[in-house]
Homo-oligomer: A and B are copies of this chain.
């Protein structure tokens, strides 16, 4: 069972935290696509969503083209206590991050160049993805300007302020 809300959260986190693209493997979910496209339209990009690509094809293509694959899993090397993040950065390559909402196939653990745990406790692919990207980009994504945004927030200590960009 795929959960619409969780998939949407994963996509929104990916966009807000600095990813360029999200691939929903094996499925086509028009509802998620609609939400994400609406967010891009209002809040800017660049960001894209692909759907229905078999995960193994996507992974193999990525690796063939010179990218590396990081799989986030509670069983992997601990992002805090191991040197896994330094080793990922040393590669200086484009990164595909895999998060598996549901049961992840064993093969993923072997095809991935790095299996990274965001703590070795059960939690959430949303939380794991957010922390991975925040640490990878050293927080830079949290201040980036999105292109072609129609709305922008002016941060406030109390209350909400949104401006429309004409």
Contact = CB atoms under 8 A, between A and B. Distances in A.
B78 A142 contact: yes
A150 interface: no
How many copies, total?
2
- Label chain A's interface by main secondary structure: mixed
Interface residues of A, number: 57
Given A81-B143, A141-B119, A124 B155 contact: no
A43 B143 CA distance: 36
Given A13-B123, A16-B127, A130-B127, A82 B115 contact: no
A40 B56 CA distance: 34
A153 B74 contact: yes
Interface stretch (A1-9, A22-30, A89-97): A1-9
A126 interface: yes
Interface in A120-166: 120-124, 126-131, 134-135, 139-143, 146, 152-153, 155-162
Given A5-B5, A115-B158, A155-B77, A13 B110 contact: no
Given A17-B127, A122-B39, A142 B81 contact: yes
